[in-house]
Amino acid sequence: MGFAAPFLWSLIVYLLLTAGSGKVIAWSPGELIAGIVIAAIIGYATKEVMDEKVDYFFSPRRWLLFIVYAIGPFFFAMAKANIDVAYRVITGKIRPGIVRISPDLTRDESRTLLANSITLTPGTFTLEIDEEGNFYVHWINVPPGKEKPTPEELCGYLPKWARRIGE
């Protein structure tokens, strides 16, 4: 299973990205051959890594939770942050700073999901995750007295969703 999963996944992604490039169904013969070659290289290069994570990565429960997260909680967090950043830019009420939060996530996958969610949310930017799992985040407006915020004060319910999806 070490080679098959990354090969198929890479081929599917490649075919989706190049759909409509030719006359054989939706691809040219050259695109189909290139896709197979590229997917084979990726499958071979990542077979040890994917062999360890294939059950984790292809879990339908995780994918369903991720889709729900992206459409619901993450979308609303981004909308709220956009309004907040627009308000701060217009009024000039900005107090930027770097804060540390400890969301207590144990897996790299959940840490990556939370770090990307924080960075994609306007007004925050994940700078680093240390070996203990502490996040260092640049925050556009650090409220007075909140130089050491809880994860919920910084990014609301996103750490709970990262834990639910990734742990």
Q: Which pLDDT tens digit goes with each residue over 8-36?
A: 888 888 888 888 777 767 788 888 888 89
Confidence at 54, pLDDT banded by 50, 70, 90: low
* pLDDT at residue 161, as a whole number: 93
Identify the CA nearest to 138 among candidates 156, 161, 165, 115.
115
* pLDDT at residue 19, as a whole number: 80
Identify the CA nearest to 110 among candidates 67, 54, 162.
162
- Of the CA atoms within 13 Å of residue 47, those in its CB half-sphere come to 11
pTM: 0.72
Residue 37 pLDDT > 80, yes or no?
yes
Distance CA 20, CA 27 (A): 6
pLDDT in tens, 95-150: 999 999 999 999 888 999 999 999 999 999 999 999 999 999 999 999 888 888 99
